Amino acid sequence: MRQSVKFLRDGEVVELDNVDPNETLLDYLRLREGSCGTKEGCGEGDCGACSVAIGSLKDGKLEYQAVNSCIQLLGMMDGKEIITVDDLSDSSQARRSGELHPVQDAMLRHHGSQCGFCTPGIVMSLFTLYHAEIEADRNTINDQLAGNLCRCTGYRPIIDAALESCTGKAEDRFREDAKARTTKLNELDDKEDLFIGNEAKFFAAPASTETLASLYEKHPDAVIVAGATDVGLWITKQLRDLPKIIHIGRVTELQNIIDNKGEIIIGAGVTYAHAKETLATIDPDVAEIIRRIGSTQVRASGTIGGNIANGSPIGDSPPLLIALNARLTLQKGTQSREIDLENFFIDYGKQDRKEGEFVSKIRVPKLAENEVFRSYKISKRFDQDISALLAAFRLTLDNSKITQARIAYGGMAGTPKRAELTQKALIGIDLNAPETWENAVQTLEQDFTPLSDMRASADYRMEAAKGLLIKALHEISNGKVDQQGKQTRVIGARANDVREAV
């Protein structure tokens, strides 16, 4: 068992044995290192001023992702590389001479900064795009910057700078040194369990499921942390002291995605960013919902398992997974059990999880040939906002008749919940006869009694829920259902959402 955190900074290994469980990466950078280029803005992962790039190995290849350092715990950086805006110049001599990274240079020449407070975070988000193996078009850049606020410059010059610097992508020192950095990161991956502290106060990062299960069974009062996109706010906003933290990011088994013929199995530690591509094979709407969960920084850290275990009634992933009939694997010690995901949510703030038991994997069935799926998110902002309502629909068709239905909503009750009476009312409905839909739509009022809160009123939620059901039925019926119940999609939730046959 190792009793120190090790990570890579500017090509060199840093080793720390004095890491408080609640210490954030941002506090380490600014207060301990004195790397003050990284700014603190909102302190909750919304504004992006604190964005840094984290390097890690995925399938043996070095990958950089932007994260919000204000809500990332320092202990979570074990085995990773940390790059901040202070590190981007080509060499120590270049730093003295003022030579800039291509992203910084483009931002300067396109006047992409005024007050400059959020600029370091914007630069670091674009730095990760600069190193990503994707085409940097305007839509990609907009997605990349959705978690970075700029209230004085405006985004046009920033996007112009991004289009110039992130297309073509000339060599920088990080690409030139990639092999050496990869070697050092491989050396840091020692497969040892990490434990800093004592029985009363510690930060732990087990390296195996067995060690995680044993440690959590011994310390059921510990807080399990995956991406800290929620737990980080307990520390920075609620000012809670969390004496025992168990981070699951080093448990290899929980980072796996298995794509079988009939289902996808997702480890509880898999991030949204890494799950998106595989889950998109089920249906494009699944990928679109994931794209609208938080920001690029949040999706790089947050996990589907964490979103489920958190038990929020407005979590984005549970409703669509419930509609897809997902199942959950829970583990305690050496024992595990499997339950339907919908049965995990008992009541507001209460889940079917025993003391010392943790979520280990999620099994998501794929759609059959005669099944169609739709999912929609309603929020005040399009990007980076919590749902007021999320709806997911899975219908089984025989020609144009609905033979089975699974409908789930988030935000309509104290838990994500299926609309069971509405499901029954849909069976037998002809998609080509809209006049037969009304009874099923009105049945939603028997399934839910929504609450009013700061995001939406009860009346709004009910009307929106009805509207989304009608929207789904119209989209599916307009998709020209053939004799086998197979359906060709038309334009759906987005104007540029050109869909192919399922």
DSSP 106-122: HHHHTT--SS-SSHHHH
Per the listing, tokens 């694997």 go with 329
Give pLDDT, residue 480: 47
Task: Answer whether residue 131 shows pLDDT above 70.
Answer: yes
Task: Answer whether residue 501 shows pLDDT above 90.
Answer: no
Report the half-sphere exposure of 197 (CA within 13 A, side-chain side).
18
CB count in 10 Å sphere of residue 370: 17
Give pLDDT, residue 169: 75
Question: H or E stretch including 344?
Answer: helix 341-344
Q: Return the amino acid letter for 135.
A: E
Task: Answer whether residue 348 shows pLDDT above 70.
Answer: yes
Give the percent of the chain with pLDDT over 90. Answer: 84
Contact of 230 with 310, CB cutoff 8 Å: yes
Give pLDDT, residue 122: 97
Q: What is the pLDDT of residues 30-60, one digit of tens each?
A: 999 999 999 999 999 999 999 999 999 998 8
Task: Answer whether residue 411 shows pLDDT above 70.
Answer: yes
Per the listing, tokens 């073509």 go with 168
174 Cβ contact list (under 8 Å, min separation 6): 64, 83, 131, 181
Q: Which residues of 454-472 are buried (b: 16+ CB within 10 A; e: fewer)?
A: ebbeeeebbebbbebbebb
Per the listing, tokens 């992702």 go with 65
Task: Answer whether residue 483 shows pLDDT above 50.
Answer: no
- Parallel, antiparallel, or unpaired for β 202-205 and 244-247? parallel
Q: Return the amino acid letter for 454.
A: M
Strand partners, 402: 397
User: Cα separation of 232 and 325, whole Å?
Assistant: 30
- With cut-offs at 50, 70 and 90, classify the pLDDT of residue 494: very low
CB count in 10 Å sphere of residue 446: 12
- With cut-offs at 50, 70 and 90, classify the pLDDT of residue 482: very low
* Mean pLDDT confidence for 171-178: 89
Q: What is the pLDDT of residues 97-121, one digit of tens each?
A: 568 999 999 999 999 999 999 999 9
Task: Answer whether residue 488 shows pLDDT above 90.
Answer: no
Q: Which domains does the chain have, with CATH numbers?
A: 102-171 (1.10.150.120), 371-477 (3.30.390.50)
Give pLDDT, residue 98: 65
485: alpha, beta or left? (left if phi > 0; alpha if psi -120 to 50) = left
User: Cα separation of 194 and 203, whole Å?
Assistant: 8
Ramachandran angles phi, psi of 389, nearest 5°: -160, 135
